[in-house]
Structure 1
Amino acid sequence: MIEADIAEAVAAGVDLADEFTPADALIEWLVYLAWHLRIWHDLPYCLADAHMDRESPVAPSTTRLIAQTQVLLERAQAAGAARPDVSAAEIFELITAVSWATDRFGDNAEAARRRALLATAGLIGAESTLEAPTQRASA
């Protein structure tokens, strides 16, 4: 079942590349991942673990997600829209942590989007036209 979800995620990444500028496609992909990975409780933890343990049965899923991140990152870097000193693996680690927080803090889609955009703000800089939703009222 996880393989189907990962295939769906990768397909979404391909679609984003067709719909957005290179900078926005990368950021929308990361927002998508932060929201999508939280669908199974502790999936972000499992993916992070698999990223560190190549023998993990979940490692192929992690590899596919990082590969799609790499495609979008390279496209944004080639356009001069993304930092040249960051790797897809580093970005994946960051967005996995954001997804974990999205799950743990019970974010709705808007709050998750805001969290992901704030976390990735230094990746693109002024090239992105995306705006973070307004801050939600604290509890």
Structure 2
Amino acid sequence: MAGTVRVDARRNHDLLLAAAREAFAAHGTDASLRDIARQAGVGIGTLYRHFPTREALLEALLRSRFDALRDRAGELSAAAAPGEALLEWLSELAAGSVTYRGLPESVMAALRDEQSQLHASCAGMRAAGGRLLERAQEAGEVRGDVTAAQLLALAAGLAWAGEQSADPQDMVRNLLSIAAHGLTRTAAAAT
């Protein structure tokens, strides 16, 4: 009987994640948890047993994405052009942030709240981006007064602007290109 319970619990967990992925993609991160449970074919109590908060559900959906961004920053840290590596990582972060409407706000809120279940994943991603930023600054390719927190706020802003567009990915690419000019040392020296 215990094996059946574990199998059912795992199945419910997976069904909830699949339903949440669809609901968040369609309605944003504020999608109804009750509707997610209904779509998964379980009761709201089952959802809360698996994911006690909305942040816990988001964290379960986003952990692998944020871990991949953290790992990607590690790969890019060996690039010959640290400024370009930073911009590539920032582009991937911003482009991925338009997956769910409201995600940029959720990430920024999680970074401010160490008790949030999403905090550790977001903080790890920010730290990895911070190391790329430091490398680009040390190479003189990025302004020295930019912080990792500002970099994530920039990505969140780009993603938010992308959410307002009919073509979010294109908007993010275009705005990042504009923002990149402001990140360079030559642009800062000219002002």
Query: Is this a same-fold pair by TM over 0.5?
Result: yes
Query: Which of the residues 85, 91, 96 maps onto 1:36?
Result: 96
Q: How far apart, in 2, do the equivalents of 1:45 and 1:20 lie? A: 33
The equivalent of 2:164 in structure 1 is 104
- The residue correspondences of 1:1-139 to structure 2 (distance < 5 A) are 1-19=61-79, 21-126=81-186
**5+ unaligned residues in a row in structure 1: which ranges?**
128-139
Could you tell me which amino acid in structure 1 is paired with residue 81 of structure 2? T
Per the TM alignment, residue 108 of structure 1 is displaced from its structure 2 partner at its CA by 4.4
Could you tell me which amino acid in structure 1 is paired with residue 132 of structure 2? L
Runs of 4+ residues over 4 Å off in structure 1:
none
Per the TM alignment, residue 126 of structure 1 is displaced from its structure 2 partner at its CA by 4.9
Per the TM alignment, residue 80 of structure 1 is displaced from its structure 2 partner at its CA by 1.1
Q: How far apart, in 1, do the equivalents of 2:168 and 2:101 lie? A: 15
Q: How far apart, in 2, do the equivalents of 1:44 and 1:107 lie? A: 17
Determine which structure has more spread, i.e. the larger CA radius of gyration: 2
Q: Number of residue pairs matched?
A: 127
Q: How far apart, in 1, do the equivalents of 2:184 and 2:80 lie? A: 14
- Check whether the contact 1:66–1:92 (CA below 8 A) recurs between aligned residues: yes
Q: Structure 2 vs 1, CA of residues 108 and 43 (structure 1 numbering), >3 Å: closer, same or farther? A: closer
Q: How far apart, in 2, do the equivalents of 1:84 and 1:108 lie? A: 30
Q: How far apart, in 2, do the equivalents of 1:20 and 1:31 lie? A: 18
- Check whether the contact 2:165–2:171 (CA below 8 A) recurs between aligned residues: no
- Check whether the contact 2:67–2:125 (CA below 8 A) recurs between aligned residues: no
Q: How far apart, in 2, do the equivalents of 1:20 and 1:39 lie? A: 30
The equivalent of 1:131 in structure 2 is none
1:23-65 CA-to-partner distances (Å, cap 9, x unmatched) read: 1011111111110111122111100111222222211122012
Name whichever structure is richer in helix by fraction: 2
Q: RMSD of the TM alignment (CA)?
A: 1.9
Q: Structure 2 vs 1, CA of residues 57 and 102 (structure 1 numbering), >3 Å: closer, same or farther? A: same
SS at match of 2:144: coil
Could you tell me which amino acid in structure 2 is paired with residue 72 of structure 1? L
> TM-score, normalising length from structure 1?
0.80
> Percent identity at matched positions?
29
> Which range moved further: 117-126 or 61-70?
117-126
SS at match of 1:39: coil
